[in-house]
Structure 1
Amino acid sequence: MTEPNTPQELRNRLVDHIVKTNVAGLYDPRVEEAMRTVPRHDFVPRASLDDAYANQAVTIKDNPDADALPLSCASQPDVVFFMLAQLNIQPGDNILEAGAGTGYNAALMRCLAGPSGRVTTLDIHEDVAAHARQRLDNTGFTDVRVLTRDAAIGAPEYGPYDRIMATVGIWDLPGTWWDQLSIGGRLVLPLRWRGLTRSVAFVKEADCLRSESVATCGFLPMIGQDGEREGYVDPDRSIKLYWDADQAIQPLSLRQSLTEVKEHLLWTNVAVAPDEPLDGIWLRLSASDPATCRITVRPEAFTSAGSLHRPAIPALSPALVEGDSLAYLILEPMETQGSKRYRLGAAGYGPAGAELTQRLCEELRAWHLDRTLPPSITAYPGGTPDEKLASGHLINKPSVRLVITY
């Protein structure tokens, strides 16, 4: 078979792959048509054609700090696809985008909104906004409005909006967006909490935003939001925690418990296949246990003598932390007939390590009963009285109160 080499052939191959794999279980034929039409390579001119049409993010603005994430990227195409499916743009919609990036996403939204639709895209970086403006002009999308400003401000002068999309990770929902989104309108954003990120599609009601779908994603964090914390436990900087500002987590308080390595292991009868995602476990924990956070462990911390038990995913594992005690997700291979499986459990350390492993394993068993069940997330403006909140697990942030339920 001849390898595709024209931009259109490469574009069709990429979209064919996205539609076939359907990673988030979300599909919109109009989004498929738009992605087959808009030339992504024209929005990332520094990338080769093969890279422009690979299912991967493309950096467009590097970070001067070599150890930090890039400042701006073109999002991975399959994530672009399912987030636009979540947004469910209709002809004539007025749309606001937070995070202009390359301008590619704005061009897709402009296609979906039709001749009577309007798109405004914002970026805090002047050079990123200028790049998006140039690329949109060069590809014929001259009527897309590009503004250089903090996306948290929004663009009230061009609202109200039927759709708002954020293409940067959002920890706290800006209050301005509440006012600029129409009742019945949709807000799709990569929402960050407890060390994880999910693309959540909200529909606005009179007093809240109610989730319609939740999908796994990863995005650079929005500049100016400082509610996320991170810190090393050990002096060798091999064990790191990620948590939120409302959690009383002090990594250094765990140092003695982990040095002593008095381990509490608890295994369940829950097993997974090698390629089965574990994201739902983390979601379950975040919807039930206020101690939920993320742990990252470098290999030397679990391969040397007297070391920690290896986390299920060393770079990205859910954990529970209370005071000087910690528990996190672990796995081990099982003896099975004909297929490889892994048993799940928890490793705990510190005075409350055994209790924390019990709590984590309870949520493992709850997840096992329905592994694909998504949570319901309801967002209320900050200051909403408790009696007006839905029942469920509450997470408070400065501008929003999140209630997560299963």
Structure 2
Amino acid sequence: MTHTTVDSDEAARLRNEVVDRLVADGAISSPEVEAVMRKVPRHAFAPEASLEKAYAPYAAVITKTDAHGVQLSSVSAPQIQAMMLGQARVRPGMRVLEIGSGGLNAAYLAELVGEAGDVVTVDIDSTVTDRARRLLDEHGFGRVRVVCVDAAEPLDDLGTFDLVMVTAGAWDIPPAWTGRLTPGGRLVVPLRMRGLTRSVAFVRVDDHLESESAFVCGFVPMQGSTAHREELLLVAGTPEIGLRFDDGLPADPSLLDNAVTTPRVELWTGVEVGRGELVDTLQMHLAITLPGFCVMTVDPDLDSGIVAPSNESFSLAAVDGADFAYLTVRRTEDDKGVEYGVHALGPTASGFAKIVADHVRDWARDRRGGPNPVIRVHPAGTPDAQIPADRVIDKVHSRISLAWSPA
């Protein structure tokens, strides 16, 4: 039995409830986006889930996994879809290319562009495109074009678009995407930079892309020719402590072999943050300023207490030669927030802990509560002199620059 056979009043009630909450939370700021999210039946595009799960406001619906349980495709959480549609600034009559099919987002886009517009949705997986085609046809969106193709390859027969929206986690920006944009066109993409993913709204400016907004998000990673896996460094060669590097391992990872044999250094920064305070700029600040920036994970089944992170699955970390350090937190005395601290291990851990702690204090003084860095995408091979940046991240097809102030 599909959701189309259940009580439509209950589905409408749940749909309006989740939209009401997203409006109250500020996740929906556009009346056009609010209208389409109230109109299009989300549950009809997520038949794998119960009504309650389909309309959970901050949860995705997984639609495909591999033999190992790795997520391959999903219907994004409502707040993520609302956020990206707001970033996209879709208008009637626009031509839109969606990369990463599921059906629901293409239906939203079709409503937003109207009869005068055009929506093409593509995916590398024929199972996904077949599903999207079926669901779109069943629910009145037959005018959406669905294509099975690796979107990182040339898309010469599809024309140009006012908007390219990517709904899979991307590590690189291939020329096939930027080459499909009209002058002044917009690219909205969940872009991974040094292990941190942001939904970035880019506009085309001359020969490069420049960010207008960037928000924390998480997405199923891209497949195909632009797929990119993080590299995992197992500290001391055991799976207990893993350091994940997005752009290559340290020059000599073996230097860390004896780090866990040294006493753990603990240093508290005096930087306190309240509950619910956004710290996305802290993440970006450390990614920009620390050369050996990475993410630490701990296997809870093997945890021997060598490290004591506040989040075993995601801790901001860094490596410097034979030392590594990570951020942790403890509750403030008034229990209204947390204080950031640094744990470090290695032969010169005390010195490295101070370096990392000073970067946290610099963030609190200079970046806290401020805007995110400007993110620019330049073609690979662009000379350094032409890229204003506090850090440049080299990819295969592009050079991603991060700068705290406009050029």
* Fold match by TM threshold 0.5: yes
Greater displacement, 28-37 / 357-366: 357-366
Is 1:191 the equivalent of 2:187?
no
Distance 1:380 1:53 in 2: 39
Question: Is the CA contact (8 Å cut-off) linking 2:388 and 2:403 kept in structure 1?
Answer: no
Q: CA deviation at 1:155?
A: 2.9
Which residue is 2:136 aligned to?
Answer: 136
Q: CA deviation at 1:354?
A: 3.0
Secondary structure, counterpart of 1:134 in structure 2: helix
Is 1:346 the equivalent of 2:342?
yes
Question: Is the CA contact (8 Å cut-off) linking 1:232 and 1:252 kept in structure 2?
Answer: no
Question: Is the CA contact (8 Å cut-off) linking 2:236 and 2:258 kept in structure 1?
Answer: no
Question: Is the CA contact (8 Å cut-off) linking 2:210 and 2:377 kept in structure 1?
Answer: yes
Question: Is the CA contact (8 Å cut-off) linking 1:60 and 1:72 kept in structure 2?
Answer: yes
**Distance change >3 Å, CA 356–CA 96, structure 1 → 2:** farther
Is 1:296 the equivalent of 2:297?
yes
Which residue is 2:176 aligned to?
Answer: 176
**Distance change >3 Å, CA 228–CA 299, structure 1 → 2:** closer
Question: Is the CA contact (8 Å cut-off) linking 2:262 and 2:347 kept in structure 1?
Answer: no
Distance 1:159 1:359 in 2: 50
Secondary structure, counterpart of 1:287 in structure 2: helix
Matching residue within 24, 45, 51 for 1:49: 51
Is 1:364 the equivalent of 2:360?
yes
Question: Is the CA contact (8 Å cut-off) linking 1:92 and 1:115 kept in structure 2?
Answer: yes
Greater displacement, 103-112 / 261-270: 261-270
Secondary structure, counterpart of 2:192 in structure 1: strand
Q: CA deviation at 1:60?
A: 0.9
Q: How many residues align?
A: 393
Which residue is 1:39 aligned to?
Answer: 41
Which consecutive unaligned segments of at least 5 residues does structure 2 have?
1-7
Is 1:320 the equivalent of 2:318?
yes
Q: CA deviation at 1:300?
A: 6.0
Question: Is the CA contact (8 Å cut-off) linking 2:296 and 2:313 kept in structure 1?
Answer: yes
* Matched letter for residue 155 of structure 1: L
Which consecutive unaligned segments of at least 5 residues does structure 1 have?
none
Q: Which runs of 4+ in 1 moved over 3 A?
A: 249-253, 274-279, 298-302
Which residue is 1:239 aligned to?
Answer: 241
Q: CA deviation at 1:236?
A: 4.5
Q: CA deviation at 1:9?
A: 1.3
- Pairing of 1:6-405 with structure 2 (within 5 A): 6-23=10-27, 27-55=29-57, 56-66=59-69, 69-101=70-102, 103-153=103-153, 155-224=155-224, 225-226=227-228, 228-248=230-250, 253-258=255-260, 260-299=261-300, 304=304, 307-336=305-334, 339-369=335-365, 370-373=367-370, 374-405=372-403
* Matched letter for residue 6 of structure 1: E
Residues 120-146 of structure 1 show CA distances to partners (whole Å, capped at 9, x for unaligned) of 111111111000000001111111010
Secondary structure, counterpart of 1:61 in structure 2: strand
Secondary structure, counterpart of 1:71 in structure 2: strand
Distance 1:176 1:234 in 2: 42
Distance 2:351 2:239 in 1: 26
Residues 84-121 of structure 1 show CA distances to partners (whole Å, capped at 9, x for unaligned) of 100111111111111002x1001101111122111111
Residues 317-336 of structure 1 show CA distances to partners (whole Å, capped at 9, x for unaligned) of 11111332201101223323
Secondary structure, counterpart of 1:81 in structure 2: helix
**Distance change >3 Å, CA 154–CA 215, structure 1 → 2:** farther
Distance 2:72 2:300 in 1: 28
* Matched letter for residue 284 of structure 1: H
**Distance change >3 Å, CA 261–CA 299, structure 1 → 2:** farther
Question: Is the CA contact (8 Å cut-off) linking 2:341 and 2:357 kept in structure 1?
Answer: yes
**Distance change >3 Å, CA 235–CA 154, structure 1 → 2:** same
Secondary structure, counterpart of 1:153 in structure 2: coil
Distance 1:85 1:126 in 2: 29
Distance 2:389 2:368 in 1: 22
Secondary structure, counterpart of 1:377 in structure 2: strand
Question: Is the CA contact (8 Å cut-off) linking 2:231 and 2:248 kept in structure 1?
Answer: no
* Matched letter for residue 391 of structure 2: H
Q: CA deviation at 1:363?
A: 2.4
* Matched letter for residue 119 of structure 1: V
Distance 2:347 2:229 in 1: 28
Distance 1:230 1:125 in 2: 27
Question: Is the CA contact (8 Å cut-off) linking 1:253 and 1:324 kept in structure 2?
Answer: yes
Residues 252-301 of structure 1 show CA distances to partners (whole Å, capped at 9, x for unaligned) of 5423111x132222211101234444433211111222211100123466
Q: CA deviation at 1:201?
A: 0.7
TM normalised by structure 2 equals: 0.91
Greater displacement, 181-190 / 344-353: 344-353
Question: Is the CA contact (8 Å cut-off) linking 2:233 and 2:249 kept in structure 1?
Answer: no
Question: Is the CA contact (8 Å cut-off) linking 1:297 and 1:315 kept in structure 2?
Answer: yes
Secondary structure, counterpart of 1:142 in structure 2: coil
TM normalised by structure 1 equals: 0.91
Distance 1:380 1:367 in 2: 27
Distance 1:155 1:107 in 2: 22
Distance 1:357 1:5 in 2: 57
Distance 1:217 1:251 in 2: 30
